[in-house]
Amino acid sequence: MSLTVRFAPSPTGLLHVGNIRLALVNWLVARRAGGTVLLRLDDTDDERSTPEFAAGIERDLGWLGLTWDRKARQSDRLALYTEAADRLKAAGRLYPCYETAEELGLKRKSLLARGLPPLYDRAGLDLSAAGRARLEAAGRHPHWRFKLDHQPVSWSDLVRGPAQFDGADLSDPVLVREDGRPLYTLSSVVDDIAFGISHVIRGEDHVANTAVQIQLWQALGGPVPTFAHLPLLTDAAGHGLSKRLGSLSIASLRDDDGIEPMALLCLLARLGTADAVEAHLTLAELVESFDLTRVSRATPRFDPEDLTRLNARLLHLTPFAGVADRLAALGLDGVDQRFWLAVRPNLTRLADATLWWQISHAPVTPTLTDPALTRQAASLLPPEPWDETTWGHWIEQIKVATGIKGKGLFLPLRLALTGTDHGPELKSLLPLIGRPRAVARLNGLLA
C-alpha cells in the first residue's frame, strides 16, 4: 500500500499556525515518499461548522501551496458511519447507555473524590431489555459506547517511540450521540479505513485516543496505520493555540501581517527539531530537506518575531521574477528588476517596497540639515546617464570640494534625497531618483 496521509480539519474556525504545522508535516512526508494527500473536512458538527470556514481552509492551504490529491466531507458520508455502528452493535462491541450529562458528571466527581480514575462503570451493559424500555418510555435516548477489550494496546510511534496503554485503564468511549450523530472517534476510523490512510500524523493530544482507535480499527477489520504524534505548538508565551479564539490565524498572517507563504512554511518545518531554520524559495527544496525523524518531543514555541526576521531573509533572496506580478498589483507601474534589486535588502514585507517606489518615483519633501552642503552637492551632480558607480564618483568630488566626510556628509545627503535617515544604499537608489529630482531635493524643493 502506498503512503497515504490526511489532513482533517473541522471547519469551525480559522486555521492557525498549529493546524498548518500538522498539515505541512503530513504534506512533506507524503510528497517526499511520492504518496497521496487527502483533505478531509470533519464537518459533522453542524452547529459550529460553516461553509465560510470550509472555504477559508481551502483558501489558506491554496495560498501556502499545500495541494491535496483527494478531498472528502464527512457530512457526505453519514450513511457509512451508521453502517459501521450497526456492525459494531451486531458484534456486541457497541452498547446503549442512558445516563444524562448530569448523572455522568456526578459519577465522575464521586470517583475523583475517592482517588479513583474517572472511568465509566459500564452500567449500560447491566441494563436488561425491560430496563432499557422503561428509560426510553420516560423519554431517554441512548448514547452508544464502544466496549474496549481489557488488554494491552501498543504501537511504535514515529515521534514518541514505543507507546502502550491497557484497555482496562481507559473508559469505553462514546461513538454515537443521543441524536444519532457519530463522533470523531468513529467517523475518523471509518474514513481512514475507506481511504487507505497508511500514516496518521497528528497532535500528541490524540495519544490516548489512538489506543482506543486501534481497537476500533481492529473491530472494523481495517489495517492499523503507522502513527506519529507531534508535540502541540504554543505561542511565544507558552500558551496553547485555538481556532475559536483566532490564535495566530493564517488569514491574519497573510492579510494583515504581509507574511510570505514560504517564510511561514520554512519556520514551521523546523520548529521542534534541532535543525537550523533556513530560507527556502520553493516547496520542492523544503521537501528534500525535511526529515520526520528529526522532530523531538519538546514543546515547540512559535514566535512571530522569528517569522518576521525569516520573512525579510526570504525576500532578500527572492528574484524579481518571483514578485513582479505582485509588485505590479501593489500599483508600482513600470516596476523593473533594477528597482527590485535596489530595495529588496531593506524589505521586511513586500508591501514595504511601496515606500521606496514613492521615494524614487513620486514627489518627496526633502529634509535639509545642512543647506549649504546639499546646494553645493547639487552643483556637482554629473550629467546622466547614471549607474551604481555614479554615487561613488560624486561623493569623492563633494569630499574634495567641502572637506566633509563620514556621517556629516552622508546623512544630510540621504535626508535631502529621500526624506528619511535610513533605507537602501544610495548608490542603487540615486539612479532611480534621477538627476532632475535629485537636484530639486538637494535645493530643498518638493520633487
Average pLDDT, the chain: 95
Q: Please give the DSSP secondary-structure letter assigned to residue 91.
A: T
**Pair 183, 42: CB distance under 8 Å:** no
b/e sequence 125-140, b meaning 16+ C-beta within 10 Å: eebeeeebeebeeeee
Going 359 to 364 to 366 to 367, the CA torsion angle's sign is: negative
Q: State the architecture of 1-91+183-317 in CATH terms.
A: 3-Layer(aba) Sandwich (3.40)
Q: Please give the DSSP secondary-structure letter assigned to residue 292.
A: G
Q: What percent of the chain has pLDDT over 90?
A: 95
The answer, yes or no, to whether residue 247 has pLDDT greater than 80, is no
pLDDT tens digit string along 161-196?
999 999 999 999 999 999 999 999 999 999 999 999
Mean pLDDT within 302-320: 97
Q: What percent of the chain has pLDDT over 70?
A: 99
**Predicted model pTM:** 0.92
Nearest to 174 by CA among 202, 140, 209: 209
At 166, give phi and psi (nearest 5°).
-110, 130
pLDDT at 171: 96
Helix or strand (DSSP H, E) at 230: strand 226-230
**Pair 72, 181: CB distance under 8 Å:** no
DSSP string covering 120-185, please?
---GGGG--HHHHHHHHHTT---EEEE---SSEEEEEETTTEEEEEEGGGSPPPEEE-TTSPBPHH
Tell me: domain 92-176, CATH 3.90.800.10, correct?
A: yes
> Which fold would CATH assign to domain 371-442?
Arc Repressor Mutant, subunit A (1.10.10)
DSSP string covering 205-216, please?
GGHHHHHHHHHH
The answer, yes or no, to whether residue 245 has pLDDT greater than 70, is no
The answer, yes or no, to whether residue 241 has pLDDT greater than 70, is yes
Query: Residue 145 CA to chain centroid, in angstroms?
Result: 35
The answer, yes or no, to whether residue 249 has pLDDT greater than 90, is yes
**Look-up of cell digits 498589483:** 329
At 118, give phi and psi (nearest 5°).
-80, 65
Side-chain half-sphere of 31: how many Cα atoms within 13 Å? 19
Domain ranges of the chain: 1-91+183-317, 92-176, 321-357, 371-442
Side-chain half-sphere of 37: how many Cα atoms within 13 Å? 21
pLDDT tens digit string along 80-98?
999 999 999 999 999 999 9
Mean pLDDT within 406-435: 96
